[in-house]
Structures are given as C-alpha cells and as structure tokens.
Structure 1
C-alpha cells in the first residue's frame, strides 16, 4: 500500500472501512475499501469475495462503480486484509438528497437519475446478478458529470447458479421488497425493482416512502399505502412464511404521496411497486416507459 497516500476515512461499515486516497505516481484519487480477512478455513469473507467477483464482471459499465485493483495486505501484527481499489466518487445519493434540504429535486434530474439506475440495474440483471441492497447510500453521484453509479455489491449474488432458499437478511428495511419481508422462500430480480421504486418516490418526495421501524412495522407501512394484499392481487401471498391476519386496508392513491410527479411517472412507480413480483416491471422494460419519452437518452 506504499503506492497510495491515504487522506481520510469516508465510510465505516459492517465489512470494513473505506478511505479516500491518492495514487502517488499518477495523482489519481481513488477509494480504498479495506476488509479484514476471516481467521478460519474460509479465508476471505464471503461478502468480500462476492463483491470482487461480481465487480470484476460488471464494473466496465458506466453506471456501476469501477473496481480498479485488488490487493492483499499483511500488517506488522500479522493481521490480513484485502483492499479493493475503486474509482473515487465524492457523493452518494443519500448525501445528495440531504444537502438539497428543503429544495426539491428538479423533475428532469429525477428522470435522468432514474434512467441511469434502470440502465445499471438492467446490466446487472442481464448478467445474472441481483444487487439486493439498493438504497441511496449505495448509489454514488458524480456531480460534475451528472452520472449515477451502483456501488456496494457485498450482498449481491448470481441467480444463474443453482441455489436453494436465499437469505432474507438483505436490503435496508425501508427499501426491502414485501416478498422478502414475508419470508417468501424464492425471490429474484424484482426485489431490486421494488427498491428502485422506493428510491424513485423518495427523490420526488425528498423523504422515504415507507419508514417502518421493524419488519412487521415496514409491512404495515406498505399495506396502509398500497392496501393489504389479497390472493387476487398476489397469488400465493397468504401461504408466505410470515403471513398473518393483517388489518384489511384499502389502497390509497399513489399520486397523493408523490404530488409533484407527472402522471406517467406515477404509472411507472405503480408498476415498480406491484405486489406480485411476476407482474413488477423489469429494468429493461422500464427504460422504454413513456415517462422517459422527453429524455435525451443519447447522452447515456
């Protein structure tokens, strides 16, 4: 790591610290994610290994953060680390929204951001990868170029591999799809679309759409807005592992919670927040939605 000059810590999560640094011989600014290696027979942590392998495959896409290098590091005290070297992007969508404070995001900017998110997610899904942790904190904003980049693939996984039941401890609560909350044994790429729907609404409202304080609380927030799901809305929902006898709420108009969103945007949002994962719009389909008709797509 003598090739790098560390400036400061810019992130500190479950799986390691992230530093802002400079490559000494080129002056390039980078982000370094340092993850401690597990002291067991598995060696490198599964989340880090997954992130490396997925980013090796995906990070050539403009809307996915670029992995530049991977290095192993042994400290003087014998501790082992793996360092992921990324391109540096100075802001995430959470900070971007928070810094706007009481100012609304321009509608065309939201449209541009959503198109880029669909583009990045469509690329992931086209390569057999579910992100599983889409939230504003994991979306980087290059303010100079107006670019959005998906980041933090530690919970990502390939759905082309033969797998059994997937873990339900994924996604930050406010962006978690109802099928995950209800303990559905098999879920797939529609969970990412639900998360994007929550992010879409949040950019329009400047506040999260569903703010539960527990898994059951999150479900109730969703049910109060979208109505308690029935077998007609979502075949098989009552057989979900975490299904109980919930209050029977009627759906509320989605346009009332996103009053600044144009009708075609509300239509797109409703297709993203469809209870039935089989009916939820795909990222590729969403890019062709009329909501984006007045967007200059050639710039992307």
Structure 2
C-alpha cells in the first residue's frame, strides 16, 4: 500500500468528512464529471487524469499472476476507486488482454458495466482506474450460503441480463461470465467486469477459441470443441449463475476436466441427438460413447429450490439448453415472467441509469443477516442489512 505523507493526512480527513456530507448521487452519464470537479475542488486545481500521483492507494484488495488490485481514492474528485495495476513484461510490453479490455471499456457506457475512469502508464506498470465496488457476486454468495433471497436473485439477474443485452447489441461477447466477474455495490447494483477475454462478433461464421469461460460455466458446445459461437455462449454462463444464486451452489461443478463436465450436464439436460442438436456429430470433441445411456433429471430435481420460486425453473431451462441456437436471448429473457414482480418502470430506465433509481427496487435483507440481527437484538423492521 502506498502510504500518504504527513502533509496529506489533513486532506484525507477533510475529504472523508466531505464524502459523508455529499447528497447528490454521482451520475453515470459523464464518467469524469469535469464540471463538478471545477465547482467543488477549486482548491485542488492542477491535478490531472492520467497521472499516478492523482490517486492514493489505501489497501490491497487482491493479487493475481499479472495484476494487483488496490482500493484507492481519487485526488481529482474525492471518489473511491479500484486501481488494477498490471505488471509490464520487459520483452512483451503491454499485455494484449489489457489493451483489448481498455479499448472495449472506453466505448461501453452502461449502468451495469463497470466504469473505467482513467488509465495510467509507466515503464513498469499499466494501471486501470475503475469505479469502486464493494464486493463481487462470489463473495456475496459466500457470505450468504444456502441460496439468496429470491427478490435479490431477481434483482441481480435482471441487472446481469440488462448488461448482457447491452453488450450483445454492441456485438460483443463477454466469454468469461462467472460470479467473480460480477461486481456488486453496497446498494445492490451489479456490474459486468473483466473484459479481457471479450471479443466482437461482427462477421458471420467468424470462429474463436473454445478454450474460454471457466469450466463450471462453459456451455456444452464449447466443451465439444465448437469455435463458431455467438451471444448464446454468455447466456449459458448466465443461466448457471442464476441457478447458483437460487440453489446456493454451482449446478455443474465438475472437477476433472471437460469429460466430467459434459457428463454432469447430460445428467440434467439429457443426451442430445442430431434431432435436438443439428450438427452435433460434426463437433471436434464429439464422442458417441460419451453421449449415452444416462436418463435425464429435471432441473428442479437437481436444484430443488427452483420449484419454490415462481417461473424460475422455466427461465433457467430456457437459458440452459444444450443446443446453442435454442437458448433465449438476453433481451427476451428480460421480458420473462420470472421478472413480473418488478415494477414496469424498470423497462424504461435509461441505459446509463441505475435500476435502483426506480422506487421500490432495492436489495432485501438475506435470511442469515436477519437471523444474525435477531440474535444480537438489533432487528428493526424498517432497516436492511447488506454485507
């Protein structure tokens, strides 16, 4: 963590106090809010975007093989940020994935897509400055085991599909949807993140690698070696995440590679045939011995909590269809009856505006939170505890 100098400590104290008093929500429409900077921070004029000194590192959040993510604060506008510091390779320079992610995120402006504020490049590192999000869906589910409140699963799923519908309209495939790549704010806003594996789909019959998407969320067509795929790839992953939110555990949790993963899928969906999946036998990894004698079970048998939530099993079944062209689109899924309890205003919210601006749309207390509050004697009927 980068330590603040003695001279900066009063500034940090004043900044924290100002943040507590700030009333007007930060808008999504203008990521840099330059006018606000001029009006509110005239005493800090001269601090520019693109400079490492414009951000203070507060604490390390996580570390990977080629990048480290820090929680930070912007000296430009006082906002909390996430600083993704990518280490440069001496021989290779800037990693291709980083270049691609930056180019995509600069053009994607949506309330359910993580916002890229700034990019900082030095000789040793490339830093992406993102809006700060409090947790991700994997951590949230880990803190609330046994399945989420059905209203929260509905709220998260609607936002996930809303973000997917937007990028699919832009002819972009995410190709790495999993709970760890879905960020969540303290209010319950969900945003798609990590576009390093994303690709554009503008040419018909354009082929890609089948070695994408984390195994548990990889569709059967990719497991069988398909390289000609489209937005249906992301729909399968989203369906797996949907069931996991309701059931409380991954639906296809294989452990030993693609063979076991396919066996788990066929056990639920049934073995496909050329009648149900045209062109199945032409896929590179097709094995007639693999697609054999298992009798399928309905999703509700494997995931019993689905049957307790109205229309959940039907939506999951429309997303988790073996034949890729048979999967529902993100745009059509938003209109599914599962989301009928949401107020109709959610369909009129502009792309750059959060779904939580609609009256009555809010994150609900999870059961374990209510139980913990009850045990502590702090339960209050009008409050909601998040995480």
Q: TM-score, normalised by structure 2?
A: 0.72
Q: Is the 8 A contact 1:10 1:18 kept in 2?
A: yes
Partner secondary structure for residue 260 of structure 1: helix
Name the residue aligned to 2:94: 44
Name the residue aligned to 1:278: 325
Match runs of 1:46-195 below 5 Å: 46-58=96-108, 60-74=109-123, 80-102=124-146, 104-144=147-187, 146-160=188-202, 164-195=206-237
Higher helix share: 2
Structure 1 residue 43: deviation in Å? 3.6
Q: Which stretch of the first structure deviates more once superposed, 49-58 or 249-258? A: 249-258
Name the residue aligned to 2:72: 21
User: Deviation digits for residues 43-74 of structure 1, max 9, x if unmatched?
Assistant: 4211111100111111x200010000111123
Runs ≥4 residues deviating over 6 A: none
Partner secondary structure for residue 225 of structure 2: coil
Name the residue aligned to 1:267: 314
Instruction: Specify which of 245, 250, 254 is matched with residue 295 of structure 2.
Output: 250
Q: Which has the larger radius of gyration?
A: 2
Structure 1 residue 143: deviation in Å? 2.4
Partner secondary structure for residue 139 of structure 2: helix
Q: Is the 8 A contact 2:136 2:179 kept in 1?
A: yes
Name the residue aligned to 2:377: none
Distance 1:108 1:151, change over 3 A: same
Q: Is the 8 A contact 2:205 2:228 kept in 1?
A: no
Q: TM-score, normalised by structure 1?
A: 0.92
Name the residue aligned to 2:18: none
